[in-house]
Amino acid sequence: MSRRDAWPSDRPRIVAMSVAELYALPPVPKPPGDAVTRAQAARAHLTDAEVWALCVRREPDLAALERAAGWFRGGPGFCANGVWYRVLKPVLCGLVGWTRAPRMAVEGRDRDEEDFLHGTRAYDVCYQRIYAALPDCEHDGLCGMRPPPRRRATRRGRS
């Protein structure tokens, strides 16, 4: 069976369309649950500090992650980006943002807060706050995600 035969017959095939044809398509209807709630409208005017407090109240591990970022000490060859992308960001993505790990079913106010933690605003504020806790890079050259160079093994006793 080829890929072409595997395509469901009830789905339209869009092979190539001009820009005019794309704009002529009807808009995709929004689901009824996509309306802005009163709580979401109220959060639109929060400051970054208020957003951070809301996120930490719902997910205390964010405060621990900020403290962990402060534990790193800079030094010769230290790269904040390397630490961020290898250590801290994967943990952050599990706590807040689109890739937040699913939690138990919640309703009411807790559901609104849970939805907020899945949003872009919460992710951006937490990202900036935790990254700012890292010390600055102290290496020569450009930042990179490659591991530091290994030291060559030397033989003892030889001069």
For 122-159, what is each residue's pLDDT tens digit? Answer: 999 999 999 999 988 887 777 765 555 555 656 665 55
- In the structure encoding, which two tokens stand for residue 43, read together? 């959060």
The residue with greater pLDDT, 30 or 61, is 61
With respect to residue 25, please indicate whether it lies within any of the assigned structural domains. Answer: no
- Is 41 domain-assigned? no
The residue type found at 154 is: T
On whether residue 60 sits in a domain, the answer given is yes
> How many helices (H) and strands (E) are present in the chain, helices listed first?
9, 0
Q: Does any domain span residue 14?
A: no
Question: Cα–Cα distance between 91 and 100 in angstroms, integer?
Answer: 10
Does some domain include residue 35?
no
Note the pLDDT of residue 124.
Answer: 94
In a domain, 152, yes or no: no
Q: Which domain holds residue 137?
A: 47-141
Q: What's the pLDDT band for 91 if we cut at 50, 70, 90?
A: very high
pTM to 2 decimal places:
0.62
pLDDT the model gives residue 77? 80
Question: Which whole-number Å values give the CA distances from 115 to 34, 100, 133, 138, in the listed order?
Answer: 12, 10, 26, 38
Residue 80's nearest CA partner among 139, 16, 1, 7 is: 139
pLDDT at residue 47, as a whole number: 87
How many structural domains compose the chain?
1
- 39 lies in some domain: no
Burial string for 18-42 (b: 16+ CB within 10 Å, else e) reads eeeeeeeeeeeeeeeeeeeeeeeee
Asked whether residue 133 is assigned to any structural domain, the reply reads yes
